[in-house]
Amino acid sequence: MISAALSGLSSGGAYALVGVAVVLMYRLAGVMNIAVSVFGAFGAFSMVSAFDGGLGLWPSVVLGVCVGAATSGLMGLVMAWLFSDSDAITRSVATIAMAITFLSVAFRIFGDTPRSFPALFGDSALTVSGVVVKATNVFAIGLAVLLAGLLVLVLGRTRLGVRMVAMSNRPVSAELLGIPTRRYTVAVWLVGGAVATMAPILAAPTRQADFTSLSLLVVAGLAAALLGAFQSFGLTVVGGLGIGVLEAVAVRWDLVSSYRSTLPFLLILGVLMWSQRGEVWDESR
């Protein structure tokens, strides 16, 4: 059972990364970005295409992350210019249109047949108390925790972070004070796209790696972000890792193994119902 749980950490790390990207963009850009994992999958497929073309593994990873970041940043520029005065719902709906558009473009460029992604660290593994832990899993967890901690420090301890938080809370006032809100918004989208690109790169070697399935990593990422109340990077990372572990353990149970892909939906539903329990009880009384 422990080995099964540990095998889910690579997927859990990917979910945590998508969740961190979602929370980052929600907190600083005021948008629930449904398209973030589409940009990530676009960058991941660019990475594997470059690798298959003969480019080295890590240069291909860097290229893929840059493509994912640039794609996301381009859409951030569109959002900054066309939807800067729109409410959060309108901006979030716009990301759905972006997701559909990029899915169509990606199918034209990459197709929707599964691709074989290389594992970043091959078969390297660590043995702890007789339990084998793959190096990819350690890297996924470490990257998610590092990014979450770094974002907490930047947003809470630096002048840049304070300015970006001010931009997210009062964008009009921030702009009047001389804060370049549009440039900051594009920067948030760039970082979100780069983080989201690492998620499918880490998760793809252990799952069916077609463009659609990698794009749907956003569902588990949204579940993780919801567990963090779209505010806490730390709880989001814990939630993402927990979802990955639960999915891996569910594979061993014949009764639920066929339905493990619905786990993020069930978690979202459960959290929403729990968060609304006070209103329901008040109404009943």
Q: What angle do CA 254, 200, 5 make, to 5 degrees?
A: 35
- Strands 125-128 and 131-134, by their bridges, are antiparallel
Q: What angle do CA 215, 216, 222 make, to 5 degrees?
A: 115
- Give the C-alpha separation, 171 to 163, whole Å: 10
Give the chain's length: 285
- Give the C-alpha separation, 9 to 16, whole Å: 10
E strand or H helix at 236: helix 233-251
Q: Which CATH code is given to the segment(s) 2-284?
A: 1.10.3470
Which range, of 4-18, 128-142, 144-158, 234-248, averages the lowest pLDDT? 128-142
Please, which residues bridge with residue 128 across strands? 131
Instruction: Work out the average pLDDT over 138-165.
Output: 84
- Of the candidates 38, 14, 90, which has an alpha carbon nearest to the alpha carbon of residue 264? 14
List, for residues 31-52, the tens digit of each pLDDT value. Answer: 888 888 899 999 999 999 999 8
List, for residues 124-146, the tens digit of each pLDDT value. Answer: 766 655 566 677 778 888 888 89
Whole-structure pTM value: 0.83
Q: What is the predicted pLDDT for the residue at 256?
A: 59
Mean pLDDT, the chain, whole residue set: 80
Determine whether 117 is exposed, middle or buried from the number of CB atoms within 10 Å of its CB (0-12, 13-18, 19+).
Answer: buried
List, for residues 169-227, the tens digit of each pLDDT value. Answer: 666 666 666 676 778 888 889 999 999 999 888 888 877 788 888 888 888 888 888 88
Tokens standing for 38? 């589409």
Which range, of 17-26, 42-51, 139-148, 261-270, averages the lowest pLDDT? 261-270
List, for residues 81-117, the tens digit of each pLDDT value. Answer: 887 777 778 888 888 888 888 888 888 888 878 888 8
Q: What angle do CA 233, 234, 235 make, to 5 degrees?
A: 95
- Of the candidates 223, 228, 91, which has an alpha carbon nearest to the alpha carbon of residue 152? 228
DSSP structure string for 72-90: HHHHHHHHHHHSTTS-HHH
Contact of 25 with 36, CB cutoff 8 Å: yes
Helix/strand/coil for 205: helix
